[in-house]
Amino acid sequence: MKSASIAALLSLAALSAGTAGTAGAAGKAPVAFSHNDWELVCDNTRTCRAAGYQADSGENQQVSMLITRVAGPSTALDIQLQIGNDDGVKGPLRFKVGKAALSGLDAGTASLDEGQIRAVLPELLKGDDATVTANGGKKWTLSLAGLNAVLLKMDEAQGRVGTPGALVRKGAKPESSVLPPVPMPVVNVAKPPTARPGDDALAARIFPSLDLKDALERCNNQDQVNAKSMEVHRLNDRKVLLALGCGVGAYNYTTLLWTANDKPPYAPVSLEASGEFDEKDASVTSSMKGRGIGDCWSTETWNFNGKDFVRTGATGDGMCRGFAGGAWDLPRYVSRVVVTAPAATPSKP
């Protein structure tokens, strides 16, 4: 049997009745759902990812499984298995659930092939837990509590309930009734031009016209709410981005943003977007740490499309369960950003 990494194995179990988080119509808004030790996130293309972990009690070693399925009739599962704190673990690993056992898995992260998935999926749906063992007696226990509810929610989000390809409630409805994938949005972005002489002076000129009510509510570092603390980034031949970093926490940093004209009337507009500006693709990305040990992160990215900053990506790492940096990325929103050369400045008549 082909060797597989543990991350691919653990990513196969998810679906059990539970509490719903933020939810939206498939294809229109992300679907998020969790129950016990499993969680589900479906992005705006209807691709769904279910992740399960060790039980959130006791002294269990970190282990996680990710099950990914693209929308559309008869699509296959992708399963990954991952162990945490694998320093010093040598030799192949063994995964066992019910009557199914897989040997020869690599330590760290592993992906299962089709035969391995067929062998373990039925047992995952029936079991209470699964185990990973290494030479020397080290053991990881993957909780399956919540698996069936999460996979059922995945089937619902993709319109599979009652079809032969459903993971939980199979039936005779034709596979053609399954919802198709939603095309990934395409965002065209012009690479920003280089800064112009005098751009830095715009901060002092525009600052008096800013509505700072939101800044005063969100910024705990009031000393930074001034023109001298503001950065100016050129977006195109007429617009600039103003960035004011003013919210300082134990692990996170808040930056307020405005777009404005580079000549009067400046007409500044406050943005929902937040974060550091990247001139390579006219983007800002906000990263937030959820816990002090650094294991829960979420990020959102916006790009300037020539008129506005639009959201182009949003992802998080869900329950985390002690994995440094998170076990997996669970995107809520995805898009394809196409960067072109800076737009030419129109010639004056």
pLDDT in tens, 176-211: 999 999 999 999 999 999 999 999 999 999 999 998
Q: Is the model's pLDDT at 27 over the cut of 60? A: no
Please indicate whether residue 309 or residue 316 has the higher confidence score (pLDDT). 309
Distance CA(24)–CA(32), nearest Å, equals: 8
Do 36 and 62 fall into the same domain?
A: yes
Q: Is the model's pLDDT at 243 over the cut of 70? A: yes
The residue assigned the tokens 């970093």 is 245
**CB within 8 Å of 49: residues ≥ 6 apart:** 11, 40, 41, 42, 66, 67, 68, 328, 330, 331
**CB within 8 Å of 280: residues ≥ 6 apart:** 191, 339
Do 36 and 168 fall into the same domain?
A: yes
pLDDT at 268: 96
Do 103 and 213 fall into the same domain?
A: no
Q: Is the model's pLDDT at 294 over the cut of 90? A: no
The pLDDT-based confidence of 20 (bands split at 50, 70, 90) is: very low
Q: Is the model's pLDDT at 37 over the cut of 80? A: yes
Do 200 and 170 fall into the same domain?
A: no
Of 177, 207, 235, which residue sits at a domain end? 177
Mean pLDDT lowest among 78-82, 116-120, 297-301, 305-309: 297-301
SS3 assignment, position 112: coil
pLDDT at 266: 97
Do 114 and 201 fall into the same domain?
A: no
Rounded to the nearest integer, the mean pLDDT of the chain is 85
pLDDT at 214: 67
Q: Which of 104, 108, 228, 122 is nearest to 167 (CA)?
A: 122
SS3 assignment, position 22: coil
Do 168 and 44 fall into the same domain?
A: yes
Mean pLDDT, range 250-269, rounded to an integer: 88
Do 170 and 56 fall into the same domain?
A: yes
Whether this prediction's pTM lies above 0.75 is answered by yes
Distance CA(210)–CA(314), nearest Å, equals: 28
Cα atoms in the Cβ-side hemisphere of radius 13 Å centred on 161:
11
Strand partners of residue 245: 255
Instruction: Work out the percent of the chain whose per-residue pLDDT is above 70.
Output: 83
Do 235 and 169 fall into the same domain?
A: no
Mean pLDDT, range 17-25, rounded to an integer: 34
Do 153 and 302 fall into the same domain?
A: no
Do 129 and 217 fall into the same domain?
A: no
Of 139, 154, 177, which residue sits at a domain end? 177
Contact indicator for 330, 40 with CB cutoff of 8 Å:
no
Q: Is the model's pLDDT at 130 over the cut of 80? A: yes
Mean pLDDT, range 215-232, rounded to an integer: 79
Question: Does residue 324 lie within any of the structural domains?
Answer: yes
Mean pLDDT, range 250-259, rounded to an integer: 78
Question: Does residue 228 lie within any of the structural domains?
Answer: yes
SS3 assignment, position 185: coil
pLDDT in tens, 83-110: 987 777 877 899 999 999 999 988 888 9
Mean pLDDT lowest among 52-61, 159-168, 285-294, 320-329: 285-294
**CB within 8 Å of 57: residues ≥ 6 apart:** none
Of 147, 177, 207, which residue sits at a domain end? 177
Question: Does residue 182 lie within any of the structural domains?
Answer: no
pLDDT at 98: 97
Question: Does residue 238 lie within any of the structural domains?
Answer: yes
pLDDT at 85: 72
Question: Does residue 1 lie within any of the structural domains?
Answer: no
Q: Structural domain tally of the chain?
A: 2
The pLDDT-based confidence of 58 (bands split at 50, 70, 90) is: confident
SS3 assignment, position 143: strand
pLDDT at 290: 65
Concatenating the DSSP letter of every residue in 271-335 gives: -S--SEEETTTTEEEEEEE-STTS--EEEEEEEE-SSSEEEEEEEE-TT-TT-TT-S--EEEE--
Mean pLDDT lowest among 38-47, 143-152, 290-299: 290-299
176 phi/psi in degrees, rounded to 5: -65, -15
Q: Is the model's pLDDT at 151 over the cut of 80? A: yes
Do 141 and 208 fall into the same domain?
A: no
* CA distances from residue 37 to 26, 53, 229, 283 in whole angstroms, order as listed: 23, 6, 44, 35
* CA distances from residue 101 to 96, 108, 132, 164 in whole angstroms, order as listed: 4, 18, 10, 25
Name residue 118's amino acid: R
pLDDT in tens, 65-74: 999 999 999 9
CATH no. for residue 163?
A: 2.60.40.1880
Q: Which domain holds residue 245?
A: 187-340
Question: Does residue 346 lie within any of the structural domains?
Answer: no
Question: Does residue 345 lie within any of the structural domains?
Answer: no
Question: Does residue 349 lie within any of the structural domains?
Answer: no
Do 66 and 170 fall into the same domain?
A: yes
pLDDT at 29: 65
95 secondary structure, DSSP code: E
Mean pLDDT, range 245-264, rounded to an integer: 81
